[in-house]
């Protein structure tokens, strides 16, 4: 049971963002370079580009695979911890 929350909802995004900001989920920050996309970074970090939304949520940038170069993003260390917040 997902307790009324599901993947891809605003509530789920907010839960991940707040967990990163509070330090509940550890993350690293990086500046997005020209030509990089969140799905590529998720593939590198988690082995699966479909988890791009975890990085988007952690970074507070909404539903966007492509964001402008120079954007500061947060990459959670554990994709499992982020997913657990929205299930």
Q: What is the count of structural domains for the chain?
A: 1
pTM of model > 0.75: yes
Say whether pLDDT at 87 is over 70: yes
Dihedral angle sign, alpha carbons of residues 87, 8, 5, 24: positive
Instruction: Point out which residues pair with 31 in neighbouring strands.
Output: 72
Enclosing H/E stretch for 74: strand 72-76
Q: Where in the sequence is the domain holding 45, given as residue range(s)?
A: 10-86
Asked, for residue 2, whether it belongs to a domain, the answer is: no
- The Cα–Cα gap between 8 and 11 comes to 8
Say whether pLDDT at 3 is over 60: no
Q: Give the pLDDT of residue 5.
A: 45
Asked, for residue 5, whether it belongs to a domain, the answer is: no
Asked, for residue 1, whether it belongs to a domain, the answer is: no
More confident residue, 7 or 62: 62
Say whether pLDDT at 14 is over 50: yes
Per-residue pLDDT of 29-60, as tens digits, reads 999 999 999 999 999 999 999 999 999 999 99
- Please, which residues have CB within 8 angstroms of residue 19's CB and are 6 or more apart in sequence? 25, 81, 82, 85
């Amino acid at each position: 049971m997902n307790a009324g929350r599901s993947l891809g909802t605003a509530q789920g995004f907010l839960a991940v963002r707040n967990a990163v900001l509070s330090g509940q989920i550890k993350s690293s920050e990086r500046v997005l370079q020209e030509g990089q996309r969140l799905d590529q970074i998720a593939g590198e970090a988690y082995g699966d580009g479909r988890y791009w939304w975890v990085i988007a949520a952690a970074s507070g940038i909404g539903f966007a695979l492509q964001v402008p170069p120079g954007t500061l993003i947060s990459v959670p260390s554990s994709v499992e911890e982020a997913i657990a917040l929205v299930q």
